[in-house]
């Protein structure tokens, strides 16, 4: 069995899609949800699915021994960042080389980097007059949104689109392609 840890800071819609996709899977299981936000909706989702959740402080998250103990205790094979808003420490990137992935709601390298998340990304896409946007699933390295691209999927940006409509289209792509990509990576 391959074990996934999901790191998320918000509502948890991508976490929910991943959890549901792998709910009865024969060889992949979500065993841990980590958040840095004690008010994150993802905690409730984890509890509903009887998945261990950990609310980690900045000190805990930055402590190599603490994080290794947490992740090793559950034999984590892959870490999935699904709206996690903290930079991953170098020690985790080294230990989980090519085993930490992130999903970004734009076609990187455009509209990525520190502070570019959620609606801010869609606002930037619209402000730039882009005719297409999409999602990027990539490996995580020491810089925000700069790791090797695994998969990109595109949508058209229509003249009448706004932040909410773009967000809805992007979320559909995320929910479809993130679980499928995880499954391929863990084969």
Which residues are identified as catalytic? 104
Angle at 101 between CA 96 and CA 102, to 5 degrees: 140
Beta-bridged to residue 152, according to DSSP, are 136
Strands (E), the chain: 2-7, 28-35, 52-55, 76-81, 100-104, 132-139, 149-156
Instruction: Say if residues 145 and 115 touch (Cβ distance below 8 Å).
Output: no
Q: How far is CA 51 from CA 10, 39, 105, 159, 180, in A?
A: 17, 17, 26, 42, 20
Instruction: Say if residues 42 and 11 touch (Cβ distance below 8 Å).
Output: yes
Separation between Cα atoms, residue 72 and residue 79, nearest integer Å? 12
Both tokens assigned to 67: 């994080």
DSSP conformational letter for 106: S
């Amino acid at each position: 069995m391959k074990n996934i840890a999901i790191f998320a800071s918000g509502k948890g819609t991508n976490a929910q899609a991943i959890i549901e996709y792998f709910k009865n899977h024969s060889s992949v299981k979500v065993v841990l949800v980590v958040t840095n936000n004690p008010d994150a909706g993802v905690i409730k989702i984890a509890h509903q699915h009887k998945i261990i959740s950990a609310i980690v402080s900045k000190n805990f998250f930055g402590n190599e021994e603490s994080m290794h103990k947490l992740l090793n205790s559950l034999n984590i094979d892959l870490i999935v960042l699904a709206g996690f808003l903290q930079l991953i420490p170098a020690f985790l990137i080294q230990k989980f080389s090519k085993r930490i992935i992130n999903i970004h709601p734009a076609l990187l390298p455009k509209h990525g980097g520190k502070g570019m998340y959620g609606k801010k990304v869609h606002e930037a896409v619209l402000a730039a007059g882009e005719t297409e946007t999409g999602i990027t699933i990539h490996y995580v390295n020491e810089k925000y949104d700069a790791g090797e691209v695994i998969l990109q999927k595109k949508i058209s940006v229509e003249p009448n689109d706004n932040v909410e409509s773009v967000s809805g289209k992007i979320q559909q792509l995320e929910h479809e392609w993130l679980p499928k990509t995880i499954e391929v990576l863990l084969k």
